Amino acid sequence: MNRRRFLQLASAMGLYSSVRGFAQAASPTLEPWQPGMLDIHPLAYGRGNSTFIFCPDGTTFLIDAGVTKDSTKVSCAQKPDPHVRPGEWIPSYALRQMKPAGRKELDYALITHIHPDHLGDVSVGDPSSPKGDYRLTGLMDVDAPVPIRKLIDRGFPDYSYPALDSPFSTSAPFALNYFGYVKSRQSLGESTERIKVGSSTQIRLLQHPDRYNNLSVRNLAANGEVWTGVGEQTHNTFPDLKDLRKQDYPNENMCSIALRLSYGKFDYFTGGDLPSGTGEESAESWRDIELAAAKAAGSAEVAVVDHHAYLEPSGRISSVSFALRLLSFRLGTSPIRQPYRCAGCSVASSIRETAIFLRHARSRRTEFQ
Ligand SMILES: [Zn+2]
C-alpha cells in the first residue's frame, strides 16, 4: 500500500491519532509508565542484548542481559559509562522505570540461549557472588539488586540438547558461571524452568491479570521445536540427532527461544540469535529456523531483527523481512488500538538491534508524516 492510500485509509478509519502516538513514542523523553501501558525498552549499552518489558499491570520481564568482553573491534564501546558494569546499569535503569508501580523485582528473566552476549561473559576481575559459586556479570549481576522470581531458559535442568558438551564446551567459563548461578537458584529454592514451546501461560501477567486479559506471551520456538499455531501443539523441525554427524548438529544460535508478545492488536516478535540460513544454497531447509519461527508468529507490528542484524550470507529473503513485510501490510489494514511505547531511545543506539529497531520506527514515522 502506498503512502497516499494509507493516509486516506487512516483518515477514513480515524487512525491518525494512533499514528501520531507512535511517532511521539519514539521521542527521547519518555513520560513515566502508567497502568495500561506496555513499555518495551531495548537497552543499548553496546556490549550485548537486553530488553526490559514493563507490562500494563506492572508485571516485569527481562529478556537477556548479555555482556561481551570483546575488544571494540568486535563489540561496541560500553555505554552509558565505561566504568559501570552493564549488569549494574541494567537493574538501575529497570528500577527507575518500575518506580511508578512500586515494583522492585523481576517477575521473569528469560535467556534466549547460552551465549555471553545474552547472559554475561566472565573474567577474573568480576566480583564473586555471596550467594553461590559464580561471579557477578550480566544476568547474575542483575539478580543481585533486582531479585528474579522466575528464570526461564532453553536447556534447564541438564542442558543436554543437542549434546552435553556441544554447542558450547563444558569448560567455557561463561557457561560454567551461568550454570553455577542456576545451581545456586536451585539450592535456594528459586524458580527456574525450561521453556515450554507452544505455551501462552508460562509467561503471564502476575500483578493484575484480571484487568488486562488482552496481553499474552506465546512461546514460539526453542531447540528446533516450533509452535504449530493450534492450541499448544508443537512440531520438531530439526532432524533426529542420530541421523546427523556431530559436527552437523544444530548450533546454539539455532536453539534460541523465540516468542511473541501480544497486547490487543499489537504484536512484538523477538527470537534471540536465530539464523535464517547457512549461506549454502544446498543447505537443508531445517537450518532456516528463523523462517519457521516467523511463520509461527504471523504478522507483527514490531519484529526485532534476530542475531544482531548480521546478514546471514544467504541469498534467500530472511524471515525477518518476511515478518516486516507483513507488518506494513497489517498496519495499513488494522489499527493499533493499545497504548504501547518504545523506549531506550535516549540511550545511545549503539547495539545493532536497537539501531535497526529505531530505524524501523523512524522509517514508519517518515512514511506516516
Ligand atoms: Zn548474540
Q: What is the pLDDT of residues 181-215, one digit of tens each?
A: 999 999 999 999 999 999 999 999 999 999 999 99
The grid cell for 74 is: 568486535
Task: Give residue 309 CA to ligand 1 midpoint distance, Å.
Answer: 10
pTM: 0.80
Q: Is 11 exposed, middle or buried (0-12, 13-18, 19+ CB in 10 A)?
A: exposed
Task: Give residue 143 CA to ligand 1 midpoint distance, Å.
Answer: 21
Per-chain mean pLDDT for the chain: 76
Chain position carrying cell 524458580: 191
Task: Give residue 295 CA to ligand 1 midpoint distance, Å.
Answer: 22
Q: In the chain, which residue ranges form alpha helices assigned H by DSSP? A: 3-13, 16-25, 86-98, 116-119, 138-143, 173-187, 289-297, 319-333, 352-368
CATH code of the domain covering residue 71: 3.60.15
pLDDT for 217 beyond 50: yes
Task: Give residue 109 CA to ligand 1 midpoint distance, Å.
Answer: 17
Task: Give residue 264 CA to ligand 1 midpoint distance, Å.
Answer: 30
Task: Give residue 273 CA to ligand 1 midpoint distance, Å.
Answer: 5
Angle at 237 between CA 251 and CA 110, to 5 degrees: 60
Task: Encode pLDDT of 229-246 as tens digits.
Answer: 999 999 999 999 999 998
Task: Encode pLDDT of 49-62 as tens digits.
Answer: 899 999 999 999 99
Task: Give residue 115 CA to ligand 1 midpoint distance, Å.
Answer: 7
Domain count, the chain: 1
Task: Encode pLDDT of 143-184 as tens digits.
Answer: 999 999 999 999 999 998 998 665 455 678 999 999 999 999
Give residue 64's pLDDT band: very low, low, confident or very high (50, 70, 90). very high
Task: Give residue 118 CA to ligand 1 midpoint distance, Å.
Answer: 6
Task: Give residue 272 CA to ligand 1 midpoint distance, Å.
Answer: 7
Give residue 266's pLDDT band: very low, low, confident or very high (50, 70, 90). confident
Task: Give residue 198 CA to ligand 1 midpoint distance, Å.
Answer: 23
**Is the Cβ–Cβ distance between 149 and 106 less than 8 Å?**
yes
Task: Give residue 318 CA to ligand 1 midpoint distance, Å.
Answer: 17
Task: Encode pLDDT of 112-131 as tens digits.
Answer: 999 999 999 999 999 999 99
Task: Give residue 311 CA to ligand 1 midpoint distance, Å.
Answer: 13
Task: Give residue 86 CA to ligand 1 midpoint distance, Å.
Answer: 16
- How is residue 287 annotated by DSSP? G
Q: Which secondary-structure segment (H or E) carries 303?
A: strand 302-303
Task: Give residue 117 CA to ligand 1 midpoint distance, Å.
Answer: 5
Give residue 366's pLDDT band: very low, low, confident or very high (50, 70, 90). very low
Task: Give residue 323 CA to ligand 1 midpoint distance, Å.
Answer: 20
Name the residues around ion ligand 1, CB cutoff 5 A: 117, 273
**pLDDT for the residue 310:** 60
Domain of 85 in residue numbering reads as: 3-368
Task: Give residue 52 CA to ligand 1 midpoint distance, Å.
Answer: 17
Task: Give residue 119 CA to ligand 1 midpoint distance, Å.
Answer: 10
